[in-house]
Structure formats: C-alpha cells, structure tokens
Amino acid sequence: MDEKFSADIPLEERDEVEKVFHYLIGDDGTGTEDIIDRFSKNSHQYEKVLGGVNFTGPVQTAQSAAEFYPNNREDVYILDVAAGTGQCAEKLHSHGFRRIDALEPSSEMVERAKKKDLYGRYFNVMLGGNALDIEGDTYDAVTISGLSFMVMKKMPQNAFEELIRIVKPGKYNLFNTHCGYIINTSFYKIFPEDGDAVAAIYRRNVKALESEGKWKQVQLRHFKGYLFGDDGGVAVHQVL
C-alpha cells in the first residue's frame, strides 16, 4: 500500500495530484499573495488534492481540541485560522463544537466554506503583520490545521501576538502546524529544538513569546500519517 496517496485516487491520477499539491504550497521563492492566488484558482479541487495526499491535519486538530475541552463544547468559541473550505470545522463539529468563526484570505475558499454553513463569522484576511479586526479576549481557542509552511515559516512574531491577544487567558491556542508540506520529511521535527533548520524562525518566535510570558507549550503530540505518509505533530500553547 502506498501511504503517500489515498486509495480513492486512481494510480493514473496520482502524479497530477502530487503536482497540483506542490504547486499550491509553493517554494521559498513564492510570495504569500501568489500562494493565496493559487489556492483561489484551485479551490474547486482543493479537497480532492488534500484528500488524495492523505492530509490528516483537520482530524488531528479537532482531536486535540476535544481533548482540551472535554465538556460543554457547544459553548467553546473557536477561530479557525487558514480555514480553507471548512474541513477543520467539519471535524470540530463532529466533536460537538458549534461556535466557530473562520479566518481565510482566499475569497473563493471562503465561498466554498460558506456552503457548509458551519461558521458564524468570516474574516476574509491573511494572518500576518496586520492587526485583526477582532476584539481582545474573544475566543476560547484558535485552531490552525492547514496554513502553508511557506507562509508559516515567514510569519512575523506579531502575527502570533495577535492570536494571543484575541484568545482568553487560560485557554488554548491549538496549532496543528507542521510548518511544512515537504515530501519525505518528518513534519513533526519542525517543533523540537533539533528540528528542521528551515523552521528556525518559527521556533524562535515561539520561544520569544514563551520568554515574554505570553504563552506556554502544554502539549507536543507526535502522530503517524500527517501528509504523504510522514509523521506530524500537534503543538498546543496555553495563553497566559
């Protein structure tokens, strides 16, 4: 069995699925706006492509959310960052979460997510150095299950500070951020200190916020089968 691909994808379609996937995530020379444009133009096949390469990010993110909020999930208020077409919201909904907003920069992806009717509010903006038009201490949790590694690794520290600002202290930021959609790599290894060098900026930003007392890591869960059969990790940080 080829764990790189879903059994639902015929052998003759796998090369094309892999090609589209790599086109979507880009490389070091691809700008954030270009990546957003690529996702917009391919929104019609986004779920087929991600499903085709056995992407389990939404499943794992929702699992951690359920673990940290075992009770009264219908009252837990979540912002789903890089929401895409709403795949993470579907998994969160299956665990009983009902109060979910979406933050997604691609208008085409947002329109597809709206058809599922799982989100309350939609913020059609990019998480970056910009301030979000959201009041402080609004959410119980933030989930990130599908943000491109090419975007994540360039994310400024104040982007994470914005997430911290809008989450109620004592609750959780849930990051399912492999920080990379790199074939044949252990995506889990972007989190530890001895992890992939390309994620050094991300780890430095995380550590800086810990040193400043803004959040602390409370879980780093290693799991098998994140993407293309490689391992993944879920890092959970508590907002202080």
Q: Is the pLDDT of residue 178 over 70?
A: no
- b (16+ CB within 10 A) / e for 160-182: bbbbbbbbeeebbbbbbbbbbbb
| 149 Cβ contact partners less than 8 Å away, ≥ 6 residues apart | 25, 177, 178, 179, 180, 181, 182, 190, 199
How sure is the predictor about 187, in pLDDT bands with cuts at 50, 70 and 90? low
Question: Beta strands of the chain (E only): which ranges?
Answer: 77-81, 99-103, 122-123, 139-144, 167-175, 215-227, 230-239
pLDDT, tens digit, 9 for 90 and up, residues 148-159 = 767 777 788 999
Report the predicted TM-score, pTM, of the whole model to 2 decimal places: 0.88
Locate tokens 């972007």: which residue? Answer: 190
Quote the CA–CA distance of 202 and 198 in Å, as a whole number.
9
pLDDT, tens digit, 9 for 90 and up, residues 70-119 = 989 999 999 999 999 999 999 999 999 999 999 999 999 999 999 999 99
Question: What pLDDT sits at residue 172?
Answer: 52
Question: What pLDDT sits at residue 143?
Answer: 93
What is residue 239's DSSP assignment?
Answer: E
Identify which has the larger pLDDT, 198 or 160: 160
Give the best-scoring range by mean pLDDT among 14-18, 125-129, 137-141, 184-188: 137-141
Nearest alpha-carbon partner for 121 in 108, 137, 139, 136: 139
Question: What pLDDT sits at residue 188?
Answer: 60
